[in-house]
Structure 1
Amino acid sequence: MLITRPSPAGDNLVKQLINLGKEAWHLPLIHCYPSKELSLLIKKLNLLSNEDLVFIISQNAINYAHQWLSISRLFWPSKLKYYSIGRSSGLLMNKLTGLSVNFPKNGESSENLLLLPTLTNIHGKRALILQGKNGRKKLGNVLKKRGVKVEYCECYYRKQINYNGEEQGNRMIKLGINTLVVTSGEMLKQLYYLLPKNHRKSWLICCKLIVVSNRLAYIAKRLGWKDIVMAKTANNKDLIKLLLNI
């Protein structure tokens, strides 16, 4: 199977799968870098008052934000309420800071997060959303409709890794890869258009595709995939549980 998610999560997933007796290879499609906007993080946190909200969109967001605060020798304000899109980012935030983090128990999406009862009566609050460059705006838009003043902080940005498509296609076919793990629409499209047309039709879309959201499954169907399996979340633990049984 081929794991496309970036390091370090992708590396860790491959290592765990190999240790469990599975054949797995890593082809990271993007690399993440800290954003210049991190320099505004402290100022934006200081604008928040008691019981205001901080939202963590991904593990990368919390990793880069926490790293910035640590370098500045500052701590996350304990007076705020912290939320994360999913369990993995919430547990990471808790591990790094010791703070309590709220997250949906079922699913890892803005839709699931917005169903939390504590986010229903929040008119007049301020919110800071920690995300990557060009992050989806649905969370912020719904919060604004609920009367929240929303600010964003871009904590990191992604850059595509350039590969020789024909060379990689030949290598993956030779390895006998028949299962792909892709955790974002951006990476799925990148993988699809990376490969020459003959590899797409004869091999790529014939592989079993593991995705982590309905949105991603929809994109895959539009590109031509038929054998699509939905993982519970993008967390490595859930992915391993699924991959060991296919």
Structure 2
Amino acid sequence: MSELLRGKRIAVTRPRAQAARLAAWITEQGGEPVLCPLLEIAPAEEQAPLQAAIAQLDVYSLAVFISPNAVAFSVPVILAGRRWPEALQAVAIGQSTVDLLAAHGIENTLAPRERFDSEAVLELPELQAQRVAGKRALLLRGNGGRELLADTLRARGADVDLVSCYRRSAPADAGPLQALLHADELDALTVSSSEGLRNLVDLLDGPARARLRQTPLFVPHQRIAEVAAGLGLQGVILTGPADAGILAALIAYRWRQP
């Protein structure tokens, strides 16, 4: 086992179902991951829109999955009643989503290779106007979220249906994280969601927020870094994309000596 993160207590704030890989990697490097999900994930309260999309799945040319959660809360429902249409092209934002689709037997998914966000998906040659105009696209996502993908595909001539197949909500409290911050026993946090970061700041009391401002915060996207700066957090480290980028930044970081 490597000792590159030995003695470092690092909060992993992804939803619980997506936290295991990064937590395991931190452990392999000698660190101590602390699982503190800042988003709770559950099926959408209203299932009728998903069922309606499944009933007409053959009319779509593209099925765009916003996240692994979009796969987890839609594909099993789809495959319980029918086969995946051979002509339906799956599109994903990140590699974790591609891998989960493959685990369900959905291969040849389109996805960006370097940046994992809506902007990168929209740069794919297969999603340019000359390729999507006149086609129908199904966009599977959580409640709310950005409209960039849907709006841009529509501007390029596609007919886009949005279906929320899962919902995100804030946890009831951030007690374990708050206690660690109060005791100055947390070396760093990893945050992969702007919404989750806002949830954290809202849940903490004044002293914990003050400590958070000075605690290293590793984030894999510029948009999250901008939100963090707007919230007054001063220890923001922008990493490479996904869990691999976060881990590389954790290993390379010049940690404060005790």
TM over 0.5: yes
The aligned counterpart of 2:248 is 241
Q: Measure how far apart 1:77 and its partner are.
A: 1.3
1:144 is matched with: 154
Give the conservation status (yes or no) of the 8 Å contact 1:91–1:101: no
Q: Which residue of 41, 44, 60 maps to 2:53?
A: 44
> Partner of 2:143 in structure 1?
133
The alpha-carbon deviation at position 245 of structure 1 amounts to 2.6
Q: Which amino acid aligns with 1:163?
A: D
Amino acid corresponding to residue 176 of structure 1 in structure 2: E
Inter-partner Cα distance in structure 2 for 1:161 and 1:73: 33
Which residue of 186, 194, 199 maps to 2:203? 194
Q: SS of the residue aligned with 1:24?
A: strand
User: In 2 relative to 1, CA 227–20 (structure 1 residues): closer, same or farther, beyond 3 Å?
Assistant: same
1:10 Cα deviation from its structure 2 partner: 1.6
> What is the identity percentage for the equivalent residue pairs of Structure 1 and Structure 2?
28
Opposite residue 84 of structure 2, the aligned amino acid is: W
Q: Name the counterpart of 1:111.
A: 119
Farther off after superposition, 117-126 or 225-234: 225-234
Q: 1:232 to 1:38 in 2, by over 3 A?
A: farther
Stretch of structure 1 that moved more, 144-153 or 171-180: 171-180
Instruction: Tell me the equivalent position of 2:5.
Output: none
Per-residue CA deviation, residues 160-180 of structure 1 (Å, 9 max, x unaligned), is 211265x74233443621211
Task: Specify the code of the residue in structure 1 equivalent to 2:231.
Answer: L
CA distance in 2, matches of 1:127, 1:111: 17
- Name structure 2 gaps, 5 residues minimum: 1-9, 254-258
For 2:192, which of 183, 201, 205 is the aligned residue?
Answer: 183
Give the conservation status (yes or no) of the 8 Å contact 2:57–2:85: no
The equivalent residue for 2:213 is 205
Residue pair 1:5, 1:29 contacting (<8 A) in 2 also: yes
Change in CA separation of 1:5 and 1:193 when aligned onto 2, cut-off 3 Å: same
Change (3 A) 1:151 1:164: closer
CA–CA separation in structure 2 for the residues paired with 1:168 and 1:59: 25
Q: CA contact under 8 A between 1:4 and 1:26: conserved in structure 2?
A: yes
Taking structure 2 as the reference length, what is the TM-score of the superposition? 0.86
For 2:232, the equivalent position in structure 1 comes to: 224
Work out which of the residue numbers 96, 99, 106 in structure 2 matches 1:91: 99
Distance 1:243 1:140, change over 3 A: same
Cα distance change of structure 1 residues 157 and 103 upon mapping to structure 2, 3 Å threshold: same
Distance across 2 between alignment mates of 1:220 and 1:76:
40
Q: Which residue of 1 aligns with 2:170?
A: 160
Check 1:123–1:225 CA distance in 2 against 1; reply closer, same or farther (3 A cut).
Answer: same
5+ residue gaps in structure 1? none
In the TM superposition, residue 102 of structure 1 has moved relative to its aligned partner by 0.4
Task: Tell me which residue corresponds to 2:43.
Answer: 34
CA contact (8 A) 1:126 1:150 kept: yes
Q: Which amino acid aligns with 1:127?
A: A
TM-score, normalisation: structure 1: 0.89
**Distance across 2 between alignment mates of 1:199 and 1:51:** 48
> What is the identity, as a one-letter code, of the residue corresponding to 1:143?
L
User: Please, what is the CA RMSD of the aligned residues?
Assistant: 2.1
SS in 2 for 1:101: coil
How far apart in 1 are the matches of 2:136 and 2:54?
Answer: 10
Distance 2:45 2:208 in 1: 39
Report how many aligned residue pairs link the two structures.
242
Q: 1:2 aligns with which of 8, 11, 14?
A: 11
Alignment match of 1:54 (pick from 48, 51, 63): 63
